[in-house]
Amino acid sequence: MATGEIRLPAVPGLIDEYVAMCEKIFSALGRTFSDDDVVQLRKVLQGQLDGAYEASQRSDITISFNAPVGTVLNYRVNPEWKTIEGTYENWVATRQPPLFGTEPDARIWALANEATDPGAFPVLDIGAGTGRNALALARRGHPVDVVEVTATFADMIRTSVQQESLNVRVFQRNVFTTSEGLRQDYRLILLSEVVPEFRTPDDLRKMFELAANHLAPGGRLVFNTFLAKEGLVVDGATRQLSEQVYSNLFTWDEMNLGAQGLPLVLVADDSVHEYEQANLPAGAWPPTGWYSGWVAGQDLYDLPREQCPNEMRWLVYEKRG
Query: SS3 breakdown of the chain: % helix, strand, coil, rounded to 5?
Result: 40, 25, 35
Q: What's the pLDDT score for residue 321?
A: 82
Residue 90: phi and psi, rounded to 5, are -65, -35
Q: What's the pLDDT score for residue 70?
A: 86
Residues pairing with 78 in the sheet:
62
Cβ atoms of residues 127 and 193 within 8 Å: yes
Cβ atoms of residues 198 and 132 within 8 Å: no
Q: Where are the alpha helices (DSSP H) in the chain?
A: 15-28, 35-55, 84-94, 106-112, 132-140, 151-164, 201-214, 236-244, 252-259, 272-279, 291-295
Q: How confident is the model at residue 22 (pLDDT cuts 50, 70, 90)?
A: very high
The H or E element spanning position 315 is strand 310-319
Q: What's the pLDDT score for residue 285?
A: 97
Q: What's the pLDDT score for residue 116?
A: 95
Q: What's the pLDDT score for residue 97?
A: 92
Report percent pLDDT > 90 for the chain.
98
- For the stretch 258-281, pLDDT in tens is 999 999 999 999 999 999 999 999
- For the stretch 126-176, pLDDT in tens is 999 999 999 999 999 999 999 999 999 999 999 999 999 999 999 999 999
Cβ atoms of residues 220 and 196 within 8 Å: no
In sequence order, the 6+-apart residues with CB closer than 8 A to the CB of 33 are 23, 26, 27, 41
Three-class SS of residue 318? strand
How many CB atoms are closer than 10 A to CB 214? 21
Q: How far is CA 223 from CA 53, 68, 70, 162, 188, in A?
A: 25, 54, 58, 27, 11
How far is Cα 226 from Cα 228, in angstroms, rounded to an integer? 7
Topology of the domain comprising 85-319? Rossmann fold (3.40.50)
Cβ atoms of residues 145 and 124 within 8 Å: yes
- For the stretch 57-92, pLDDT in tens is 999 999 999 999 888 999 999 999 999 999 999 999
Cβ atoms of residues 184 and 124 within 8 Å: no
How many CB atoms are closer than 10 A to CB 33? 16
How far is Cα 108 from Cα 315, in angstroms, rounded to an integer? 11
Q: What burial class does residue 51 get, using C-beta atoms within 10 Å of its C-beta: 0-12 exposed, 13-18 middle, 19+ buried?
A: middle
Instruction: Evaluate if residue 238 carries a pLDDT over 90.
Output: yes
